[in-house]
Amino acid sequence: MIVSEEKIRVRYDEVDKMGYLYHGNYAGYFHVGRTELLRKLGLNDKELESQNLILPVIEMNTKFLKPVQYDEIITLKTYLNELPKTRIVFYYEIFNEKGDLVNEANSSLVFVHNDTRKPMRVPQSILKRIETYFNT
C-alpha cells in the first residue's frame, strides 16, 4: 500500500452559499492527492508527458460525511491499495481539524495514449516502480 498525505486550506472560491466546501470541488483535492502520490513514485506529470500518457478519470464515488468549512485546514490521505491493471484505483479520506473523518471517496483512472486517445494497459516501466513500493 502506498499512502500520501496533504494539508489543504479551504479557499473562499471553493465554498458555496451554505458556507461549505462545495461538493464538486472535492474532485480537485483528490487530484492533488494522487498527483503527490504519483510524484513520490517518480511519476510526476513531466515524466508522464514524456511518455505521452494521460490519465482520465473514468469513475468517482464520494461520501460527504460532514461539511467542511471555509478556511479550515483539512488533511487528505490518498491510498493506492492494489497493483493497477487496466485501471488504477485511488482511495481517499479527508479529516477536518478536529480529526473527524469528513469524506470517503475513490476514483478509477485509465492510462491513455495522448495521440490515439485509446486506453492501454499500465506501461511496464510504471508498473515496476509501483511494485517496488508494494514489495517493501
Residues that bind its own copies (CB under 8 A): 11-20, 22-28, 31-32, 35, 44-46, 54, 56-65, 67, 70-71, 117
Burial 66-103 (b: 16+ CB within 10 A, else e): eebeeebebebbbbbeeebeeebebbbbbbbeeeeebb
Considering beta carbons, is residue 11 or 121 the nearer one to its own copies?
Answer: 11
Considering beta carbons, is residue 80 or 109 the nearer one to its own copies?
Answer: 109
CA gap 14, 19 in Å, rounded? 9
Minimum distance from residue 115 beta carbon to its own copies (Å)? 12
Rg (the chain; Cα; Å): 16
Residue at grid coordinates 482511495: 91
Minimum distance from residue 112 beta carbon to its own copies (Å)? 8
Tell me the Ramachandran region of residue 37: left when phi exceeds 0, alpha when psi lies from -120 to 50, beta otherwise: alpha
Considering beta carbons, is residue 12 or 136 the nearer one to its own copies?
Answer: 12
Minimum distance from residue 63 beta carbon to its own copies (Å)? 5
Considering beta carbons, is residue 11 or 85 the nearer one to its own copies?
Answer: 11
